[in-house]
Chain A
Amino acid sequence: DTILTQSPVLAVSPGERVSISCRATEGVDSYVHWYQQKPGQQPKLLIYKASKLTSGVPARFRGSGSGTDFTLSIDPVEADDTAIYFCQQSWNDRTFGGGTKLELK
């Protein structure tokens, strides 16, 4: 299985920039996608194929990377961005990262 590793928690202040990383144990080309999950809600697709922004998602969200290292950036961070962010790969079956909980200071 392709394992995706994410930092468990990040804390930032509103208005700052944050980068959330996702590292794969093997190359997955650009088939990494990012989801946002707020408490009590289903996941929501933000970014697909590493850098493509889903329609309706603010341009503050940006994805980058290829191969084994990927990043989701939010700039500037807003209070409403408090959530867990998951990366997912679909190059080798499908697996999800453990999630990064974004907290605001």
Chain B
Amino acid sequence: QVNLLQSGAALVKPGASVKLSCKGSGYAFTDYYIHWVKQSHGKSLEWIGYINPDSGYADYNGKFESKASLTADKSTNTAYMELSRVTSEDSATYYCARGAYNNYIMDVWGQGASVTVSS
């Protein structure tokens, strides 16, 4: 079945970078976009951006343009999100999700990856 498997929890020092991964299986990886979503402290959801794994084109929420960098590796069916110069505000759970229905919806979600920023 369709599945997105994310990397595990990360503990990161302030000012450092962290790279999260999201591996797709059970479907043609390059046929669907991958979105990334932030959830802080079990609260609401913020859309970070999406990437087209086939072309590598990425589109970002303006709020995250200087924070997140989205990439994808077609050979391993894996999407990545790198967060740079992290602060306590970046402590959250991050989800990847598959974009479907002309990329209007997020129909399958990864299990989430917790990022904790602490010295």
Contacts and interface: CB of A to CB of B under 8 A. Distances in A.
Q: Mostly helix, strand, loop or mixed at chain B's interface?
A: strand
Q: Mostly helix, strand, loop or mixed at chain A's interface?
A: loop
B38 to A, nearest CB: 10
Interface residues of A, number: 20
A42 B112 contact: yes
A64 B95 CA distance: 27
Given A42-B112, A86-B44, A31 B104 contact: yes
Interface string A41-74: 0111100110000100000000000000000000
Given A42-B111, A45-B107, A96 B47 contact: yes
Contacts of B58: none
3 cross-chain pairs, A with B, having the tightest CB-CB distances, nearest first: A42-B109, A94-B47, A96-B45
Interface of B: 35, 37, 43-47, 61, 95, 97, 101, 103-112
